Amino acid sequence: MTAERQRAAVAEPLGEYGRRAVFASSVGYALDGFDLLILSFALGGITADLQLSDPQAGSLTTITLLGAVTGGFAFGVLSDRFGRVRVLTWSVLVFAVFTGLSALAVGFADLAAYRFAAGVGIGGEFGIGMTLAAEAVPARLRARATSWVGVGFQLGVLAAALVSPWVIGAFGWRGLFVVGALPAVFAVVLRKRLRESPKFLAGNADPAPRPSPVRLLLADARTVRTSLALVVLTTVQNFGYFGIMTWLPTYLSEQFGYSLTKSSLWTAVTVVGMLVGAVAFGHLADQIGRRRTFWTFQLGAAASVLVYSQLSTPAALLVGGAVMGAFANGMIGGYGALMAELYPTEARATAQNVLFNIGRGLGGFAPVVIALVASAQGFPFALALLSAIYLLAFAAMFAIPERRGAELA
């Protein structure tokens, strides 16, 4: 790149379209986090009202995640065929409608069906939003843009934590799912206010037949290695997230005798650390490259999770939780930029959704694995063991090319 082109790239603004695309994608992913957490808050009321067994109640989250994996595959392919904005709108509508219908459930069977269908909609939001954000901004801002999409998820989690107790107290668990239907309004506004990705439109201008987007994830030996390495990365990301967030309140309660309120406060500090980490990751990845930033955060995650398992004083747990959250979940937005640069436009959303949701499906086993280890060796040992998975992700990065600043193919 010539000096003149470098100066032009640095001066290139985000633009009105870029800001709208990043905002819409962030809100879409926030709905993902909101829905997953309101189910946790509503579970006690659902169990009592519908007279569910513990296995039935516990399976509702798993059923939602299975729906997300299915939706990730389906909506990813549809987005590469019919457009980012159009299909993101469809996915939000599916999520909102079936979340609202969950309020009408009369038993386990119909509630499970509603949760699976809502999960299908949720599964489309990550990959399509990341793709839209990555295609809408200049290359020098790509990791920052996708990191802000990742921040959206945590903001949705925080919103659910704030809204859920009040809504359940006033209207019961059914009222909470009615609130979960409101994103349908956002979908309508999104479709009217945001035009399609110019990158997608340019890629679809050629009427020639195109190969299957899924096949392009396995196009040759190098692409297969890259795709497998990304599955490792996304599995580690989700395994660590679900493992930490599911069991952290229990860990604080059982090991240190914290009340529910105090455990929630300490967990909230960890979530704030995740927010800060995601923003920091995006800035760093655009400055020093994807590989070096992932390696920095992976080593930081391994070290901070291990250290956290040895802490015992309230102040140390508070600070340690924030640091652990920053490193363990700061990488979430980086996958959007990373995968956007590794796959062509005709398979970009498919890659994001398929690879991330495979990781989400495998990572969803973390709560069970940690519970089994903790039952035999205790929670401190289980948490310390969790740190080792980030070293596996560190090794996987060697199979992933560095493409910081590259124009999207």
Do the Cβ atoms of 328 and 241 come closer than 8 Å? yes
CB 66 within 8 A of CB 120: no
Instruction: Give me the count of residues in the chain.
Output: 409
Q: How far is the C-alpha of 165 from the C-alpha of 121, rounded, in Å?
A: 25
The closest alpha carbon to 80, from 346, 333, 303, 270, belongs to 346
| Cα gap 328→346, rounded to integer Å | 31
How distant is the alpha carbon of residue 9 from its chain centre? 29
- Please give the single-letter amino acid code of residue 402: E
Per-residue pLDDT in tens (0 to 9) along the chain, 409 residues: 444 444 444 345 568 888 889 998 998 888 888 887 788 778 888 888 999 887 788 788 778 888 988 999 999 999 999 999 999 999 989 989 999 999 999 999 999 999 999 999 988 888 899 999 999 999 999 999 999 999 998 888 888 878 888 888 889 999 999 998 888 887 777 777 888 888 888 877 666 677 788 889 998 999 999 999 999 999 999 999 888 877 776 677 777 777 655 666 777 788 889 899 999 999 999 999 999 999 999 999 999 999 988 888 888 888 988 999 999 989 988 999 999 999 999 999 999 999 998 998 888 788 788 888 888 888 888 888 889 999 999 999 999 999 998 888 7
CA-to-CA separations, 160 to 179, 206, 267, 271, 279, in angstroms, rounded: 10, 44, 14, 13, 21
309-340 core/surface letters (b: 16 or more CB in 10 A; e: else) = bebeeeeebeebbbbbbbbbbbbbbbbbbbbb
Residues 6+ apart with CB under 8 A from 45: 168, 172, 173
Which tokens is 308 given?
Answer: 């956290």
| Strand (E) or helix (H) holding 304 | helix 290-308
Q: How far is Cα 299 from Cα 338, in angstroms, rounded to an integer?
A: 18
Sign of CA dihedral 22, 24, 25, 27: positive
Give the DSSP letter string of 215-267.
Answer: HHTTSSHHHHHHHHHHHHHHHHHHHHHHHHHHHHHHHHHHHH---HHHHHHHH
Tell me which amino acid residue 27 is. V
Instruction: Count Cβ atoms within 10 A of the Cβ of residue 187 and give its class: 0-12 exposed, 13-18 middle, 19 or more buried.
Output: buried
- Contact indicator for 74, 120 with CB cutoff of 8 Å: yes
- What pLDDT sits at residue 14? 65
**CA–CA separation, 129 and 121 (whole Å):** 13
Given 3-state DSSP classes, what are the helix, strand and coil percentages for the chain, each rounded to the nearest 5? 85, 0, 15
CB 43 within 8 A of CB 163: no
277 HSE (CA, 13 A, CB side):
28
Do 126 and 363 touch, CB atoms closer than 8 A?
no
The Cα–Cα gap between 360 and 234 comes to: 7
pLDDT at 259: 67
pTM of the entire structure? 0.85
